[in-house]
A and B are shown apart, each in its own frame.
Chain A
Amino acid sequence: MNEAKISKRDLNRIVLDYLILEGYQSAAESFAEEAAHDLPTNAAQQVENANIESRVQIREAVERGDIQTAIEMCNDLDPEILETHPALHFHLLTQSLIELIREGRTAEALTFARAHLAPRAERNEEFLKELESVMCLLVYGATPTGAKGKEQTGNSKKSVEINAPQSLLDLLSMQHRSLTASELNDALLSSMSLGGPRREPRLAGLMRLCFWGERVLDSHGIDFPRLTIPKGEGAGLDSSQSEAAKESK
């Protein structure tokens, strides 16, 4: 068997790549400093160029529902990003609309849709469909008294409860915000020169490869020793998802 060897330098690069892409600004900075002699010389430069902090803030803005701020920050960071990613721009605006509907600001929502979304949707079939389903939310209407609605929108300020089919309620979910945030983050990452269009850290790629291999072996009836990862503090990052996944089953 050929043994795979990986140098400390390469391991460090994988870790730095993770810290940058996942947005751990201060950790990335101190890593570039602390591991300097086992990293490429441009490591610190890379950290600086990655605009980690702004990306994190933009992401957080979207996840809070503050789309307007996110769009402004995006334009500060990279004035062309929204122009070159029309779908992304549309999704951000749609998310804006969803936030208005969530807060029960129906009139504003209508104005907003007419001013910003309708013109874009006219030119694009996909966009039109997406816009339509968001507008459907309005049809079900804001029923502030509908106490029986299951959807709890968590931390929203003045959320209204809407009785609508699940597919529409998904639009109001926090997940949908996260989707939009991820899409935006991906676009920002791709626009940076981090070695080709990058969407996820190399570490994720390694995990995919690793667990793909285990699965294929498994499917051939080989009970192979598994690689296990002890749970630590990171588990908090996806606890909600795994629960969501369980529920959806």
Chain B
Amino acid sequence: MPPAVPIPSNSSTSRLEHMLASFEEASRQRFGGRRDSGHGPTLPGITTASTTPPVHSFAQSVSSSFRPRVIRGPTTPTDGQPSSVGTRPSISPTRLRAGSHLSNRPQASVSALPNAVRAGLPTFTPPAYLANALMANLFHGGPPPPQAIVPNSRVAPDPQQIISDSEDSSHGHSGLSSRRRYRMQIPRNFTSWPTALPIPTQWSETDKHNHLIVSSNGKEVTFSGHSGTSETGSAAAIRAECSIPAACGVYYYEVKILDRGYRGQISVGFATKELHVSKLPGWEAGSWGYHGDDGLAFGGQPRPGSEFGPHFSTDDVIGCGINFLDHNAFFTKNGTLIGSVFSDIPDRDVYPAIGLRSSNEHIRANFGDSPFLFDIDAHVSRIKLKAWKDVQSHTTILSRSQPQASHYDISSVDVSKREHSDDGLARAARDQQEGLRGAMADLVMDYLVFQGYAKTAREFRSQLLDRVSKKPETPAKTDPAMDVDELPLSIAVRLRLDSMEHRTRAVNAVRNGDIDLALSIMQSHFPASLTHDEGLLRFKLQCQQFVELSLEAQEVKRRSDKEHEPPEVDAAKSGSVPTDGAFAMDLDDDEHVVPSSPASRGYVVWANGNSGSSVAKGKGRPNARRRSSASRTGGRSQSRNRGESGSLLSPISPSAMEEDKIQVIRYVERVVEYGMQFRKEWESDTRPFVKEQLRRTFGLVAYDNPRTDQRSKDLVSEEARLQLADEANRVILLSTVNEPMPLIERMYRHSNTTMQALGAIEVGAGAFMDVSRILEDFV
């Protein structure tokens, strides 16, 4: 720590310069030297970048606490005791229902296992169209996961353990830990979230009829046997090496007919393991194929096939797609869509499959290694858009809660697709039937209160109550005499309304950089917020306070430098007595005294305010006071100048300059003193985040211009204040009503989690339901 320099009783420019220099030097040595240049931005609000690894994927975080597990059937003893993992009582633990058809699934396919990502995989970039899927980041080409890894442990991890794990590892950001806690509630008895989803990249070397020969790259297949004679006998089929994850939403591959062979009896399509390799895809249950010799589509029965498309033969390129949303298949020929067919393709265990039947038949598959002939991207985009619109226009929200219930009991149903969703009346009928408005209003109310938009919350509430009471059909039960303000409020909302004003004040104080005010409000109204997460918020606020003080000091110094330049600067630097015209001014005693007195008075007030407490508690804004006194001074001397001589004299007297210097010293002093206290308090904290942040914050004084310096820009930006303000808000709510985020945000995240959970259980329906779409087209 730089030694505390006693406040000089007489101003001395040389001492000032010396002190500034030594302090800057000291901090440079202390903090600057240790910093490597590669530090990422570490905003106070969203720290952890370099200290605590942020959890980008749920899979990562889960894999540390969850063993990869497989969904178990009803025969497995389930540990279905209710576990109140979360603090929200409404979120019940997940339990697999007995009788779920999931139980019939081969275990290996339940989810990709972490070790499915192996070193040395052939490099395969999943084709672009797959990027439309929510879980696209998990797709990788490669061999199937090892078969049926049975977990050793049949007992789900103790949820309490999980929570504490997550909290232990998330020091440094309380928001993160609460988010994580929310996520941790989900997968109990659910399944492990997949960490990787293999997609087919080549034909299986083993899962095939022995008349078929697969090329060494796994793409080409040749029929080497004798041409079959009977109608259904002697065919040969092959499946790809792994099944298609339904999370693709749409899967597509193309087959080029290199040689139609003797009879061109080629079937392209899809099959489950049910298809025997001696049958063409389409002839047996669990297989779907489009046949080249007759253009028929077969959906699991040898006959009759259905008229589907043109025949295909040598040099044709046939594309085969599955739409897991509608459970149908579509085929293309030479880049043109033929159409859709079938309606019973399951979500799971479906493999690309082809069948050959006569000698010399030879095909090559393109699993996305090279560009497709068909514009699959556009096709997927259309499907995606339609899926979104279907959900939006066919989902009706019902709310059937009892009047006394504390929560909405919301469910959704599909309205018949026959109803024209564009018909105004039909839509209005849906609106009528729906229980959407009440819940929406309460979501918005919750949000306004959460974020502390006090004025809006009041306006909204009064308009809302107005509307509720005006409702023509309000049941007569409501006592008309009842004051609208007496209407029942949910407890959570009431709690937050009560403290909202204080909270808003505290948050606004942070936003304006008045950390002292924020801390004192929080101390008196939300003490828990200052001890929450081992005082992390308090630490961050104090960091910010240091930042504010440093900036102020720097600002004062800069202004002081500026006011006295250019000759004054030189003078100040050398410490010699200024010799410019200002000094020659005819000054009387009055002028010597007056300019300095208001400023020093200002300082005394400020210093008194601090006596007995740390410098940090100082409430003064000496900045403002100084400025006003300086302008007063300037004005006075100017008028005097004009009156007396009207000469070229500088309006700034040397004593004003001195006074500025004292100011600068005092500001720097304050920073140093505050810094010492601050450091003392936190240096024993072992959390990496705290250490790092402490270092970064103190490093600030080493930079000439922290606002532009790359290393400190993020610390001093306006954005940093705003983020800290948001965090303060969140922590206050979290520590008082245990509410880490507004319900709307929760709903947003919940939707996303739900969709990915669908992918995790291999259901394709939610594959394209990207919740962020609701934000599109905002003007």
Interface of A toward B, CB cutoff 8 Å: 1-4, 6, 8, 10-15, 17-19, 22, 24-27, 29-31, 33-35, 37-38, 40, 42, 46, 63, 87-88, 91, 154-155, 174-175, 178-180, 182-183, 186-187, 193-196, 199-217, 220-246
Contact = CB atoms under 8 A, between A and B. Distances in A.
A174 B391 CA distance: 29
Interface string B93-122: 111110111100000000000000000000
Most buried by A among B135, B428, B448, B489: B428
Interface of B: 55-59, 62, 86, 88, 90-97, 99-102, 134-135, 137, 179, 183, 185-186, 190, 193, 391-392, 395, 397-401, 403, 405-408, 410-413, 424-425, 427-429, 431-448, 451, 453-456, 459-461, 463-465, 467-469, 471-475, 478, 487-493, 722, 726, 742-758, 760-761, 763, 765-766, 769, 771-772, 774-775, 777-779
List the 6 shortest-distance A-B pairs measured between CB atoms, nearest first: A234-B441, A1-B58, A236-B468, A221-B100, A213-B754, A4-B752
Contacts of A241: 432-435
Given A15-B444, A220-B763, 17 more contacts: A2-B137, A11-B742, A13-B778, A30-B459, A194-B779, A200-B431, A204-B436, A211-B397, A214-B754, A223-B97, A225-B86, A225-B186, A230-B492, A231-B406, A237-B438, A239-B403, A245-B398
B407 A203 contact: no
A117 B424 CA distance: 19
A232 B463 contact: no
Nearest to B779: A195
Contacts of B763: 216-217, 220
Contacts of B742: 11
22 contacts: A4-B753, A17-B778, A27-B460, A27-B463, A31-B460, A34-B453, A63-B472, A179-B432, A195-B777, A200-B431, A203-B744, A206-B744, A206-B747, A211-B412, A213-B758, A217-B754, A224-B757, A227-B747, A240-B473, A242-B399, A242-B435, A245-B398
B722 A232 contact: no
A235 B246 CA distance: 39
B410 A3 contact: no
B405 A225 contact: no
A15 B465 CA distance: 18
A238 B775 contact: no
Given A231-B408, A233-B461, A209 B135 contact: no
Contacts of B397: 204, 207-208, 211
A54 B94 CA distance: 48
B474 A19 contact: no
Contact of A154 (B183, B413, B473): B473
Contacts of A230: 406-408, 442, 446, 490-493
Nearest to A178: B432
Nearest to B55: A3
B461 A213 contact: no
Contacts of B726: 8
A127 to B, nearest CB: 12
A28 B763 CA distance: 40
A31 B453 contact: yes
A2, A37, A178 — most chain B CB neighbours (10 Å): A2
Contact of A242 (B401, B488, B753, B761): B401
A46 B427 CA distance: 26
A221 B434 contact: no
B365 to A, nearest CB: 30
B748 A202 contact: no
Contact of A209 (B92, B137, B469, B769): B769
A227 B454 CA distance: 26
**Interface SS, A side:** helix
Contact of A238 (B395, B399, B412, B777): B399
Given A215-B412, A216-B765, A241-B433, A232 B445 contact: yes
A220 to B, nearest CB: 6
A243 B410 CA distance: 14
A196 B779 CA distance: 9
B102 A2 contact: no
A26 to B, nearest CB: 5
B473 A207 contact: no
Contact of B436 (A195, A202, A238): A238
B774 A205 contact: yes
B619 to A, nearest CB: 25
B438 A15 contact: no
A195 B777 CA distance: 5
Most buried by B among A13, A38, A232, A236: A232
A215 B411 contact: yes
Contacts of B774: 14, 202, 205-206, 209
A27 B96 CA distance: 44
Contact of B96 (A183, A207, A221): A221
B90 A226 contact: yes
B153 to A, nearest CB: 21
Contacts of A10: 775
A227 B434 CA distance: 18
A111 to B, nearest CB: 26
Given A11-B742, A183-B424, A206-B748, A238 B434 contact: yes
A1 B137 CA distance: 9
Contact of B444 (A18, A38, A227): A18
A239 B91 CA distance: 24
A220 B755 CA distance: 13
Contacts of B437: 22, 234, 237-238
Nearest to A230: B490
A34 B458 CA distance: 12
